[in-house]
Chain A
Amino acid sequence: MESVLGRYRNLIILVGVLFLQVLGLAMQVKKNGIDVEKTRLIRIWAVDAVTPFERMLVWVQTSTGNLWHNYFYLRGVRAENRQLKDQIEQMRLQQVRLADDAAQARRLQTLLAFKEQFISRTVAAQVIGSSGSDLSRIIYIDKGENSGIRRDMAVMTADGIVGKVLLAYPSVAQVLLINDQSSGVGALLEKTRLQGVLRGTPNGEVVLERVMSDEQVSAGEPVLTSGGDQIFPKGLPVGIVTKVGSGRDLFLNIKIKPAADLSKLEEVLVLVEKQERQTTEDAVRMRASDILAQRLPSVPDKPAAEAAGAPSGHSGSGAVAVQPKTAVKQPAAAGTKPQGLAGAAKPVASVKPAVTGASTAGVPKPTKTSAGASQTSITLLPEAQKGADMTGVAPIRSQPDASQTNAPSAPPKPATPPPDNPQPPADENKPQ
Chain B
Amino acid sequence: MPITYTSGEQVEVYRFGIPITIGVPLLALFLQAFVPLRYPRFAVYIDLPLLVTIFFAMARRNPISGLLTGAVIGLAQDMLGHNPIGIYGIAKTVVGYGASSLGVKLDVENAGARLLVTLGFYFVHSAVYFTVARGMVNMTQTWSWSRGLLAGLANAFLGVILYFVLDKFKQRT
Contacts and interface: CB of A to CB of B under 8 A. Distances in A.
Interface of A: 9-10, 13-14, 17-18, 21-22, 24-26, 28-29, 34, 36, 39, 42-43, 45-47, 49-50, 53-54, 57, 127-136, 138-140, 166-167, 174, 176, 180-182, 202-203, 263-265
Interface in B62-105: 63-64, 67-68, 71, 75-77, 79-90, 93-94, 97, 101
B136 interface: yes
B63 to A, nearest CB: 4
Contacts of B79: 39, 42-43, 45-47
Contact of B86 (A9, A28, A47): A28
A21 B26 CA distance: 21
A265 B140 CA distance: 25
Interface residues of B, number: 44
Give the interface SS of chain B, mostly helix, strand, loop or mixed: helix
Contact of B43 (A22, A128, A134, A174): A134
Given A49-B26, A130-B36, A21 B84 contact: no
A50 B26 contact: yes
Interface stretch (B6-14, B27-35, B159-167): B27-35
Nearest to A46: B79
Given A36-B82, A50-B33, A132 B87 contact: no
Given A14-B94, A50-B33, A135-B141, 16 more contacts: A14-B67, A18-B94, A25-B136, A28-B86, A39-B84, A43-B79, A49-B76, A129-B33, A129-B37, A129-B80, A130-B37, A132-B29, A132-B43, A136-B83, A138-B81, A181-B139
A50 B22 CA distance: 12
Contacts of B19: none
Contacts of B83: 34, 135-136
A142 B166 CA distance: 32
Contacts of A133: 32, 43, 77, 80-81, 88
B142 interface: yes
A160 to B, nearest CB: 17
B137 interface: yes
A245 to B, nearest CB: 17
B46 to A, nearest CB: 9
A128 B35 CA distance: 10
B133 interface: yes
B44 interface: yes
A43 B78 CA distance: 8
